[in-house]
Structure formats: structure tokens, C-alpha cells
Amino acid sequence: GQSLEQPSEVTAVEGAIVQINCTYQTSGFYGLSWYQQHDGGAPTFLSYNALDGLEETGRFSSFLSRSDSYGYLLLQELQMKDSASYFCAVETGNTGKLIFGQGTTLQVKP
Amino acid sequence: NAGVTQTPKFQVLKTGQSMTLQCAQDMNHNSMYWYRQDPGMGLRLIYYSASEGTTDKGEVPNGYNVSRLNKREFSLRLESAAPSQTSVYFCASSYDRDQPQHFGDGTRLSIL
């Protein structure tokens, strides 16, 4: 089977740094994406890693280790508006098909 | 700047009724996708269309059909709705298979 594991909930304070981990077991792997979703609204794309290493986009960074089937999303200088659900998703084939994790709910407290 | 537009936003059906969910994108994207999201869960792919004229099954295709009407539009049909299909349905599109997916606001569907 195919599975992605990520923590269900994370809590952090404003201004802090938080890391959301994702481990995966899939039949194929082309890349790992991260999406953000506020209150059941439209998911929005945050980052994509196809190769090992760190990708940085402003306050958000994403890391991938293909040998460990592991990645993480790092959020720095947390703001209240970062309170949302974060999903990792694996592209399993050369088709754009994504397998999503169950999501991590991040609560940012003042 | 509409992006991905889904209609309707909300719908209540009775078991056995049929329904078509509409999705249109104005970004000239080649690939389009239909997902469902159940409470506390991630998104699960129902069907996708890698390019105009092609469709293929995702993780959970049973009970659904799709039509890629043209490059802009990708519809999802429930022929005989069942309570297990109560969910939020999201349509997404991407320029190509390895490009970020852009999502619509979703259709909240309840089947009684």
C-alpha cells in the first residue's frame, strides 16, 4: 500500500519556528509537495522538492531526503495567519497524480 | 482572475439521485483533477485528466464518472448518489503534471 505519515496537530507561539515532518511509503516517487489549507478552504501550494536538500521560499522552507523517505516543512517567524492545516503530498508517477497525507493542524498562539 | 471555478458551492441530494459537479479553469492549464476530502482527512484523487481528451482513474474512482469537455472544463458525475459520497469535492488544475496544482473553493455535497 501507499501511506504518508505526518503529525495530526502541532502548537507553537507567534514568532517561533516549527517543523512538520512527513514520512512516506509509496510505490513510486517523483517529488514531495506541501499545501496549506485554511478552515476547509481551497488548498494552496507552498513548495515542491524533487531532489534531496532544502528549498527556501521566504519564511517557509522544505527539505527532502529520498534515501530516508522523509521530508519536512519548516515555518519560521510564525504569524497568527499561519494557523492552518498543512498537507504533504507525494507525486507517485509521471502523471501529476498526488497522494496526500492526512494533514497537520498548526495552531499558532499569541 | 478567476482561476479555478467550481459550481455549485453547496448541494444536498437524496440517495439515488444523480448530479454533475462543474469545474472550469481560465489559466490555460493542461492537467485537471478531482479530489474528495472527508472530515479530518487529506485529499483523495478521484479522477484526473493529464491533457484534453484523456482521463484516468485515481485512488477512489468507484461511483463517479468524469468528462473533459474541452481544455477549460472538467466535470464530475455521480450517477446514483450514496451517503458514503457525502464529502467536500475539490477540482484542481496544473499547467503540466509536475507543476503546482491550483484548487477551486470546493463543492460541499451532502447525500441523505
User: Does residue B101 surpass a pLDDT of 80?
Assistant: yes
Give the tens place of pLDDT for each residue, B38-81.
Answer: 988 889 999 999 988 899 999 999 999 999 989 999 999 999 99
Q: What is the pLDDT of residue A2?
A: 83
Tell me the chain B residues in contact with residue A91 when contact means C-beta distances shorter than 8 Å. Answer: 97-98
Give the tens place of pLDDT for each residue, A42-84.
Answer: 999 999 999 999 999 899 999 999 999 999 999 999 999 999 9
User: Does residue A95 surpass a pLDDT of 90?
Assistant: no
User: Does residue B1 surpass a pLDDT of 70?
Assistant: no
User: Does residue B19 surpass a pLDDT of 80?
Assistant: yes
Residue B22 pairs in a beta bridge with: B7
Q: What is the pLDDT of residue A97?
A: 87
Measuring CA to CA, how many Å separate A40 from each of A26, B38, B41, B57? 26, 10, 11, 24
Instruction: Give me the mean pLDDT over the B4-24 stretch.
Output: 97
Q: Which residue has the cell 522544505?
A: A62
C-alpha cell at A46: 507552498
Instruction: Give me the mean pLDDT over the B77-103 stretch.
Output: 94
Tell me the chain A residues in contact with residue B101 when contact means C-beta distances shorter than 8 Å. Answer: 45, 96, 98
Q: What angle do CA A90, B93, A82 make, to 5 degrees?
A: 65
- Which 36-65 residues of chain A touch chain B by CB within 8 A? 40-45, 48, 50
Give the tens place of pLDDT for each residue, A1-28.
Answer: 789 999 999 999 999 999 999 999 988 8
Q: What is the pLDDT of residue A20?
A: 98
Q: Do A95 and B48 touch (CB under 8 A)?
A: yes
**Which residue of chain A has the CA closest to B90?**
A42
Q: Percentage of residues in chain B with pLDDT exceeding 70?
A: 99
